[in-house]
Every structure is written in C-alpha cells, then in structure tokens.
Amino acid sequence: MSMDRLITRILETKNPSVAGLDPKLSYIPDFIKEEAFAKHGKNLEGAAAALLAFNKGIIDALCDIVPAVKPQCAYYEMLGWQGVKALSDTIAYAQQKGMVVIIDGKRNDIGTTMEAYAAGHLGVTQVEDISLPAFGGDLLTVNGYLGSDGIKPLLKVCQEQNKGIFVLVKTSNPSSGELQDQCIDGKPIYRVMGEFCEQWGEQLPGQYGYSGVGAVVGATYPDQLTELRKALPHTFFLVPGYGAQGGGAEGVAGAFDENGLGAIINSSRGILCAWQKTGAAPEDYAKAAREEALRMKEDLCRVIPPMKAPAEAQ
C-alpha cells in the first residue's frame, strides 16, 4: 500500500519531508525557459517543456535524500493539456527515480465520477479489454465535503491498486476556520472530518499502524496538529505551510508520534526558489534546492523524536 511505501522511504532517507512541485514560470531559471521557448515556441507547449525540464533537475537533485514529491495540479492545468502532459511526465520521472508521488489535486465528486478520478490519478483505465494507467500517482489529495459517497469509490481503487489518499481536514490558510473550525454539537468540523478519516482508513490498514487514508493538516495550526495527532492514531498527516506560509519546525513537532513518524512536511517555494533566495547562480538551482532540502531535514529532525519503525512493524 502506498502509504507504507511512503513511510518506508521516510525511514530509509530519515527525512519526513516532501518537495512540492508547484513550479511557476517565474521560479524557473532563464536558461531553461530560453531553451524550451527556442524549441517549442513561447506558448503553452514551450512553458510546459520548461516546467518539465526544471522538475527533472529538482528530482535528480533530491531523489536520494527526499522520499516524495507532491506536484500541485493547478500549476500544470494553467498551461492547458500541454501542462497536464508535463505533470504526467513529471510523475513518471519521479517514480523512475524511486520517489513516491503525491498528486495534489484535492479532487472531489461522487460515485462513478469519483471512480473516474481514482482510476485516472491512482489506478488504471479500461480501454475495452486493455488496462492502462493514466497518471499513475501513488497518493492523491481529496476533499471530503461531499461525504462518504465521495470517498468510498476511492477506497475501492486504493484497495485494488495498493494506493492511498490524503483528505483535507484542517488546511493551512488563514480563513480555513470559516468552515473547518465551526462546531457541530460542540466538535469542530476539522475534527469530524479527521474522525471520518480514521473510519474510512479501517478499510486500508498499513504495516506501520497508519492506514491508506491520511489527512491534510496545516503547519500554521500547531495546536490542532497536536490535538489531531493524539485523536487520530491511524491517520498519517500531510502538512503544508512549513516555511513560506509561516510555519516553522517547532510548529510541526506535534504532528509526529513517539517514533518520529506520523507526518510528512511539505515545502514548495522554499525548495524550488532556494536559488533565488540564496542568490545562487541560475545553473545551480538544483544544487540550491538540495541544500535547502537538507537544511529542512535537519531543522525537522531537531524537533522530532529519533525516527524508527514501530516495534510491531519490525
């Protein structure tokens, strides 16, 4: 199951972080863009080619020290189908380099439509008698506003294909509380959604005690991270908002369990734009990304318990 594969890679690299591949054109060094535009034209195709080349450099620089990448669909879709092709190629390249791929699509729908998303992003699509992977991600972020009808079709595909999901629980943005902090019978909605994750996860048990149904919980809400870690013992957390969104290592410490597991912390701009922030030469963008990833790993490991597989999994 892919949550197990993610945790195994975290243990192997001793690094509980994921690189968010959210590349805007402005993050990409000119020499990459110029080459892509020269070849494909200054258009969506050229921009998508620049994205892919940039991503490959980042993946090459990180694949032995960072367990996973998380491409954010929006930045690929904004370049049309050409961008979506670059997303597809990025996923394949990262997996080929041994990385686990979390597709950040926050998809949501019901019934057969949600099955279609599950097939497309995690499973296989039937073209008559032939089964073909479309995007072939390992994990997918999803939004549970529609209730169980929106999640159950995913669980079926996850079971069959050994994949997993992350459900939005408490997002990192300032206004996330408008709905998520409101109380139903005295219990905040993020907590209700978190408990749904525990329940949905029963169908996808994992070898490290964490199920195939994880939760997205923002680094910007340390108290809720700590509260939810205790309340949801089988739910692995994907934590956005470290660094660029203001959350630091101390803020995410509560997301981890006594084995230093339980969460993976995302950094997107921090890693992708490291070359701009440090004033590195554009040619060294990937090297700067690697240095930032190592700095982040150290920063995180400083505040969490020494990482080890739980006794029952060893």
> Catalytic site residues?
106
Instruction: Report the nearest approach of a second copy to the CB of residue 298 (Å).
Output: 27
Instruction: Report the nearest approach of a second copy to the CB of residue 264 (Å).
Output: 19
114 counts as binding a second copy under rule CB under 8 A: yes
Q: How far is CA 220 from CA 176, 210, 224, 231, 254, in A?
A: 10, 23, 9, 18, 12
Instruction: Report the nearest approach of a second copy to the CB of residue 200 (Å).
Output: 11
293 counts as binding a second copy under rule CB under 8 A: no
Near a second copy by CB under 8 A: residue from 14, 106, 156, 287: 106
User: Contacts by 22-27 with C-beta closer than 8 Å and gap 24+?
Assistant: 22/71, 22/72, 22/74, 22/75, 22/268, 22/269, 22/272, 23/51, 23/54, 23/55, 23/75, 23/272, 24/75, 25/50, 25/51, 27/54, 27/269, 27/272, 27/273, 27/276
Near a second copy by CB under 8 A: residue from 12, 38, 64, 111: 111
Cβ(206)–Cβ(212) below 8 Å: yes
Closer of 48 and 261 to a second copy (Cβ)? 48
Closer of 116 and 313 to a second copy (Cβ)? 116
283 counts as binding a second copy under rule CB under 8 A: no
Amino acid making up residue 172? S
Closer of 143 and 207 to a second copy (Cβ)? 143
Closer of 129 and 312 to a second copy (Cβ)? 129
User: Contacts by 124-129 with C-beta closer than 8 Å and gap 24+?
Assistant: 124/161
Instruction: Report the nearest approach of a second copy to the CB of residue 152 (Å).
Output: 9
Residues 63-102 that bind a second copy (CB under 8 A): 72, 74-75, 77-81, 83-85, 87-88
Residue owning tokens 């690189």? 19
User: How many Å apart are CA 93 and CA 153, to the nearest integer?
Assistant: 28
Near a second copy by CB under 8 A: residue from 12, 38, 39, 42: 42
Residues 199-258 that bind a second copy (CB under 8 A): none
Instruction: Report the nearest approach of a second copy to the CB of residue 16 (Å).
Output: 23
Residues 125-154 that bind a second copy (CB under 8 A): 125-128, 130, 132, 134-135, 143-150
Cβ(25)–Cβ(8) below 8 Å: no
Instruction: Report the nearest approach of a second copy to the CB of residue 302 (Å).
Output: 28
Closer of 46 and 243 to a second copy (Cβ)? 46
Which pair of structure tokens corresponds to residue 228? 């939810």
Cβ(21)–Cβ(58) below 8 Å: yes
Which pair of structure tokens corresponds to residue 269? 């701009």
122 counts as binding a second copy under rule CB under 8 A: no
Q: How far is CA 116 from CA 72, 123, 200, 202, in A?
A: 19, 9, 19, 23
Closer of 64 and 74 to a second copy (Cβ)? 74
116 counts as binding a second copy under rule CB under 8 A: yes
Cβ(100)–Cβ(135) below 8 Å: no
User: How many Å apart are CA 108 and CA 274, to the nearest integer?
Assistant: 33
Residues 153-192 that bind a second copy (CB under 8 A): 168, 171-180, 182-184, 189, 192
Beta-strand pair 139-142/164-170: parallel
Under rule CB under 8 A, how many of the chain's residues touch a second copy?
Answer: 71
Instruction: Report the nearest approach of a second copy to the CB of residue 87 (Å).
Output: 7
